[in-house]
């Protein structure tokens, strides 16, 4: 049965989308803090904020959010992303961070700020996410060591393939899939409201997310 999001879960407005330049539409995952500099960063998928647009990613590329009414504004600039072409496979994540242009911008209150995270999850655990396309959905972890061969667009009309692993797999419910196109980059939480991952892809019958611990380590992040 569907479950409502309680006070343990950060508020996330369901229709907030994110993109770099004019492509790569996806979900604004969550707000996190840099461990070293103490600044706030936006986390989403790399194929939303870095790859799959008309030019190769570059630091300081503008990141905008927009809602279902068409209201759009730039709120951040791209800082780092993974995978990168010069990193060896397999890659453990499809993730990118952008530093918030105005650290007190009220628009960031529309994006979730996790209160806790967890390094532990197992097949059978219930999980939830709020995507720009699907809204809030629930699913159950079916496997926790899945690999995915995926193709990215480099920006100069060239493509390259990379393998992501280990990823976590969630099967679709009988009524509806856990995620759909446009939900990439959404933060994934366990049923106690702890951040555990980031949506990176899927198909009609399943969804995949990468583990949040790898992301925190790669980008030197902590909870906000």
Question: Which tokens go with 208?
Answer: 């995949």
CA distance 166 to 86: 19
**Block residue for tokens 């907030």:** 16
- Closest-CA residue to 48 (of 10, 93, 92, 86): 93
Query: CB-hemisphere CA count at 13 Å for 159?
Result: 5
pLDDT per position as a tens digit, 110-130: 899 999 999 999 999 999 999
53-98 per-position pLDDT tens digit: 667 788 888 998 887 777 788 899 999 999 887 777 778 899 999 9
Which string of b and e fits 60-80 if b means at least 16 CB within 10 Å? ebebebbbeeeeeeebbbbbb
Token pair belonging to 209: 């997310």
pTM recorded for the entire structure: 0.90
Q: Answer whether 73's CB lies under 8 Å from 62's CB.
A: no
pLDDT digits (tens, 9 = 90+) for 15-55: 678 877 655 589 999 999 999 999 999 999 998 888 766 67
């Amino acid at each position: 049965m569907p479950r409502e999001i309680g006070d343990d879960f950060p508020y996330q407005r369901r229709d907030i989308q994110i993109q770099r330049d004019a492509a790569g539409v996806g979900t604004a995952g969550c707000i996190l803090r840099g461990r070293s500099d103490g600044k706030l960063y936006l986390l989403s998928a790399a194929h939303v904020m870095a790859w799959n647009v008309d030019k190769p990613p570059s630091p300081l590329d503008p990141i905008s959010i927009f809602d279902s009414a068409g209201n759009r504004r730039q709120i951040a600039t791209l800082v780092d992303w993974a995978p990168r072409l010069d990193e060896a496979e397999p890659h453990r994540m499809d993730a990118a961070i952008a530093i918030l242009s105005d650290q007190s911008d009220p628009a960031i209150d529309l994006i979730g700020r996790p209160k806790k995270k967890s390094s532990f999850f197992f097949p059978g655990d219930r999980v939830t996410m709020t995507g720009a396309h699907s809204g809030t959905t629930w699913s159950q972890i079916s496997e926790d060591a899945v690999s995915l061969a995926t193709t990215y667009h480099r920006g100069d009309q060239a493509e390259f393939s990379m393998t992501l692993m280990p990823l976590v797999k969630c099967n679709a419910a009988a009524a509806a899939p856990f995620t759909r196109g446009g939900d990439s980059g959404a933060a994934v939480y366990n049923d106690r409201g702890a951040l555990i991952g980031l949506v990176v892809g899927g198909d009609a019958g399943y969804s995949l997310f990468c583990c949040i611990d790898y992301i925190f380590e790669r980008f030197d992040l902590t909870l906000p």
